[in-house]
Amino acid sequence: MKKQLFITRKLPSHIIEPLHTYYNIVEWPEEEAVMPREKLLAAVKDCEALWVTLADQVDAELLAYAPNLKIVSTLSVGFNNIDMNALRGRGIIATNTPDVLTDTTADLVFALLLATARRIPEAERYLREGKWQGWYPLQLVGKDVGGATIGIIGLGRIGQAVAKRALGFDMKVLYHNRNRKLAEEERYGFHYRALEDLLQESDFVVVMTPYSKETEGLIGERELALMQEDAVLINVARGGIVNETALYDALKNNKLWAAGLDVFEQEPVALQHPLLTLPNVVALPHIGSASLQTRTAMMNLNVQALLAYAQDETILNRVDRY
């Protein structure tokens, strides 16, 4: 008898095709719209397997509606949308999609850094709005990236990939991490710093640490005040790590030069959000892993996990054991 699988997004048919052999599949029919919570709770009643995205909260409330649930696969590396304690209490397996998006996300970090430093979105709007009437010496001047100092908070796989790209721009690489990366320091010349020192010394501060209770609000009013007034903050990790109210105040009062953000505390971010009113903020809709090759690879990792579960084989990329 086939197992019941529910998918919270409409996914390409060729991706999920191998699963039909083992599962009766029901999909939320929308590709873009987030599934309403009440509909999700109703949909999991009979499912044994659940395939979700970061927008879908898998918590104790949902588990109460899903008595048959045995495995949850999330289409993401991060899994802060899943209450791991609740899953462990029920012996439910959880999997994610690590490794395959490292380079794609690191590319986006540097694209956002460059766009923010050189005011690329602002310059494009300037041209399209008919404001380009000639040349003058301080027209849309930005910050040099080459030769600057970059401070990376969180030197995991993606953080290291960002650091290696920075070397190509002759940047001095500082980093802060729970554990020192001595091998990387020796091989690439990275420099460890305490968080306060990194903030004070860096021209560009890049937040790459995972979201957790320990990192929630990690960059707040005090930390932003330590940064140079002409520094740039880049966050491609998770919303909530940076205090958005404090960031707005720092940018508004010229205590920080600019910020590039791919993530927000609430997503999608409201168009009325104060940060979106500032010209020195470059904002993106959480597209860190958004290349066709990478998103396809991520979906395939979820498929492999669900197939392994259905065939009682070893399931890779489990996060319920962390």
E strand segments, the chain: 3-7, 23-27, 49-52, 71-74, 93-95, 149-153, 172-176, 191-192, 204-207, 232-235, 258-261, 281-283
Please state, in angstroms and as integers, the Cα–Cα distance from residue 122 to each residue in 115, 117, 269, following that order. 9, 11, 20
Q: For residue 119, what are its two tokens? A: 């005011």
Nearest partner of 156 among 240, 78, 258, judged by Cα:
78
E strand segments, 58-177: 71-74, 93-95, 149-153, 172-176
What is the C-alpha to C-alpha distance for residues 244 and 240, in angstroms, rounded to an integer?
8
Q: From the candidates 9, 193, 286, 295, which is the catalytic residue?
A: 286
Instruction: Report cis status (omega within 30 of 0) of the bond before 210.
Output: no
Residue 275 dihedral angles phi and psi, to the nearest 5°: -60, -30
Q: Is 286 tagged catalytic? A: yes
How many Cα atoms are found within 13 Å in the side-chain-facing hemisphere of 157? Answer: 10
Query: Three-class SS of residue 138?
Result: coil
Asked if 18 and 62 touch (Cβ cutoff 8 Å), the reply is no
Q: From the candidates 118, 267, 273, 318, which is the catalytic residue?
A: 267
Q: Is 267 tagged catalytic? A: yes
Residue 259 dihedral angles phi and psi, to the nearest 5°: -140, 145
Q: From the candidates 238, 295, 313, 318, which is the catalytic residue?
A: 238
Catalytic residue numbers read 238, 267, 286
